[in-house]
Amino acid sequence: MTDTVTVALGERRYDILIGKGLLARADRLITPVMRSRRAVIVTDETVARAHAGDLVAALDAAGIAAAVETVPAGESSKSMTVLADLVERLLARGIDRSTTIVALGGGVVGDLAGFAAAVLLRGVDFVQVPTSLLAQVDSSVGGKTGVNAAAGKNLIGAFHQPRLVLADTGTLDTLPDREMKAGYAEIVKYGAIDRPDFFDWLESNGRSVLAREQAALAHAVAESCRSKAAIVAADEREHGGRALLNLGHTFAHALEAEAGYDGSLLHGEAVAIGMVMAFEFSVELGHCSAPDARRLRDHLADAGLPTTIGERFAAPPPAKRLFHHMTHDKKASGGRVTLILTRGIGGAFTTAETPETRILSFLSHAITEV
C-alpha cells in the first residue's frame, strides 16, 4: 500500500510517496516528473551497496540509463570540497537542464545532491529517495539543501524543492538500529510540537515502528511527513511557524558542536536530549507541567534514545560554551536567542523573550541534571 502526502507549494507542489517496495517501481513513479529520460543517481558508498542496484534496474526497465555518482558515507561529505568535486563529475556526465538528479540516501546525500541540483546550470530538477528514517521523516521534505562551513553546520545552501519524494520504507531494513532510533527522535518531535494525538499513538506503537513493522512504520513516516508538509506549506522560508520544527534543536546543535560531529552523538540523539532540555526549561519557566516533561523523557528513553547529557559526554560540557554555541547558532537573531519552548505535549511555541541570564543559569544545572 502506498500513502501519498502532498506538499502544497503552488507551482512547486510535489508528492511524497510512502510505502514498501517503491524503489522497484521507481520507473513508473519517477518518469512522470522527468523532463527527459536523463537521470543521474547521487548516493553514498554504503547506500550504493545496499540499494542503488534496485533503483538502477527499475529505471533501466523504463529505458533510463542512469549513471551513479557516489560520495563517501557520513557528514564530512556535506562540504564545499565534496560539492565541487560532485558538480564537476555531474557536468562531465554531460547533464543538461532536462536531467533529473536522484538523491538516494540519508540526509547527507539529500542535502548535498539537492544543493548540487540547485546550483548546477542555475537549477535542475531533483527527486529525493530517502533511505534513512531521519531523511524519510524530515530532511527529504521541505527543500532545504546545503553543505557545512568551517563556521558552522548548514551555513551554505539554498531552498530548492524536489519534484518528488519516494520514501521506500523497505530500505530501512538495512539501516543500523542506532540510526533508526536517531530518526525516531524527529518523529517524536512532531507529536511534541503540535500533535498530541500522534504522541499518544507513538506511546502505544513506537516499539512497532522501531521494530520496522511495516504498517506502523509507514503510518509513522506518513504522519511525520504530513506534519512537516503542513508546516512547510504555511512558511516555506522560515519567517515564522517553520521555526517550530527546531524544537529541541537549539540545545541539540550546541551539544553536537561540543561533541564534534565524530559520530559519538548522532543528530537525532542530540535532538532527543535537546527536547528534554526544552521541556525541562519550560517547566522551570512555568510554561509546562512537570508530568508532561516526564512523559516526553520516558517515551524517548523507552525508545532507547539518550535523554541526559551524561549518557553521551564523559564530562559535562561547560555551560558557558554551550551558551556560546547557542548564541552563535544561525537562528539567533538580533542578539537574542530564539527558543522553542512548550506548554506541554503538543504545545510548542517560539519565543525570543527569554533573558540570556535565565538560559545560562538553566544550562549551568542542566549539564549535570538533565
Ligand X SMILES: NC(=O)c1ccc[n+]([C@@H]2O[C@H](COP(=O)([O-])OP(=O)(O)OC[C@H]3O[C@@H](n4cnc5c(N)ncnc54)[C@H](O)[C@@H]3O)[C@@H](O)[C@H]2O)c1
Q: Pick the binder of ligand X from 128, 131, 224, 308 (CB under 6 A).
A: 131
Closest CA to 3 of 21, 19, 26: 19
Q: Per rule CB under 6 A, is residue 70 in the interface with ligand X?
A: no
Q: How far is the CB of 131 from ligand X (least distance, A)?
A: 4
Q: How far is the CB of 214 from ligand X (least distance, A)?
A: 15
Instruction: Please check whether residue 321 is in contact with residue 262, taking contact to mean a CB–CB distance below 8 angstroms.
Output: no
Binders of ligand X in range 145-174 (CB under 6 A): 153-154, 171-172, 174
Assess whether 242 carries a catalytic annotation.
yes
What is residue 73's DSSP assignment? S
Stretch that binds ligand X, among 101-109, 334-342, 344-352, 358-366 (CB under 6 A): 101-109
Q: Residue 199 half-sphere exposure, CB side, CA atoms within 13 Å?
A: 21
Q: How far is the CB of 352 from ligand X (least distance, A)?
A: 22
Assess whether 267 carries a catalytic annotation.
yes
CA angle 290, 292, 294 (to 5 degrees): 70
Q: Per rule CB under 6 A, is residue 111 in the interface with ligand X?
A: yes
Stretch that binds ligand X, among 8-16, 71-79, 188-196, 218-226 (CB under 6 A): 71-79
Q: Which three cell numbers stand for residue 305?
A: 534514545
Q: How far, in Å, CA of 277 to CA of 250, rounded?
A: 10
Residue 224 CB: number of other CB atoms within 10 A?
A: 29
The residue among 98 and 350 lying less far from ligand X, judged by its C-beta, is 350
Assess whether 144 carries a catalytic annotation.
yes
Q: Pick the binder of ligand X from 34, 41, 105, 270 (CB under 6 A).
A: 105
Pick the catalytic residue: 69, 75, 160, 186?
186
The residue among 157 and 344 lying less far from ligand X, judged by its C-beta, is 157
Binders of ligand X in range 270-329 (CB under 6 A): none
Q: How far, in Å, CA of 225 to CA of 198, rounded?
A: 12
Assess whether 37 carries a catalytic annotation.
no
Q: Per rule CB under 6 A, is residue 50 in the interface with ligand X?
A: yes
Q: Per rule CB under 6 A, is residue 132 in the interface with ligand X?
A: yes
Closest CA to 59 of 166, 175, 171, 218: 166
Q: Pick the binder of ligand X from 73, 120, 202, 252 (CB under 6 A).
A: 73
Instruction: Please check whether residue 35 is in contact with residue 98, taking contact to mean a CB–CB distance below 8 angstroms.
Output: yes
Alpha-helical (H) ranges within 93-213 are: 107-119, 133-134, 177-194, 196-210
Q: Which three cell numbers stand for residue 114?
A: 539537492
Assess whether 238 carries a catalytic annotation.
yes
Q: How far, in Å, CA of 84 to CA of 109, rounded?
A: 14
Pick the catalytic residue: 38, 160, 189, 228?
228
Q: How far, in Å, CA of 346 to CA of 344, rounded?
A: 6
Q: Which three cell numbers stand for residue 191?
A: 507529536
Handedness of CA 228, 324, 152, 274 (dihedral sign): negative
Binders of ligand X in range 179-198 (CB under 6 A): 179
Pick the catalytic residue: 160, 249, 297, 299?
249
Tell me which residue has cell 540519508.
106
Pick the catalytic residue: 20, 51, 219, 242?
242
Q: Per rule CB under 6 A, is residue 106 in the interface with ligand X?
A: yes
List residues binding ligand X (CB under 6 A).
44, 46-47, 50, 73-75, 78, 105-109, 111, 131-132, 134-135, 138-139, 142, 144, 153-154, 171-172, 174-175, 179, 267
Catalytic sites, residue numbers: 122, 144, 186, 228, 238, 242, 246, 249, 253, 267
